[in-house]
Amino acid sequence: MEQIYFAGGCLWGVQEFMKHLPGVIATEAGRANGTTDTTQSEYDGYAECVMVNFDAKAVTVKQLMVFFFEIIDPYSLNRQGEDVGIKYRTGVYSNNPLHLVQAREYIDSREDKARIVVEVMPLTNYVKSDEEHQDRLSRFPDDYCHIPLDLLHKYKKTHR
């Protein structure tokens, strides 16, 4: 099992989408690359993210990037849908340098690469989000999400 972290705006929707993808074993809502070890501060540099545990024999980082790009606006800086602020930036983080190389290669292979503002960086700090945020849209399916419902569950029927 391998781990990679995706930030794509509000973490509720990103987690709900990612957990249904082929090859994904488990997900956890959290915050990446901030300056504290707590979830108490809203403005400590974190990006809302989802830790994705995946089977590298079943899905590649490139495939995960393709899926991820289905649910984000890769040209929008610090904003996804109605969610605005640095904590809603888009990013891919990992402790595995190969994951970062593969994520950058995917972005560099795109014709629109010059416009993409998705950061690709080593994971320097991770904090698990509070329990109320874990699997939020599974527990409260009518809660707000910036990802359209048909896209949010696009892979749900074909996986699990």
Catalytic residues: 10
Contact yes or no for 102/61 (Cβ under 8 A): yes
Contact yes or no for 32/51 (Cβ under 8 A): no
Give the Cα separation of 113 and 96 in Å (integer). Answer: 23
Q: Among candidates 35, 43, 32, which has minimal Cα distance to 8?
A: 32
Cα angle for residues 118, 12, 144 (degrees, 5° grid): 110
How many alpha carbons fall within 13 Å on the CB side of residue 96?
12
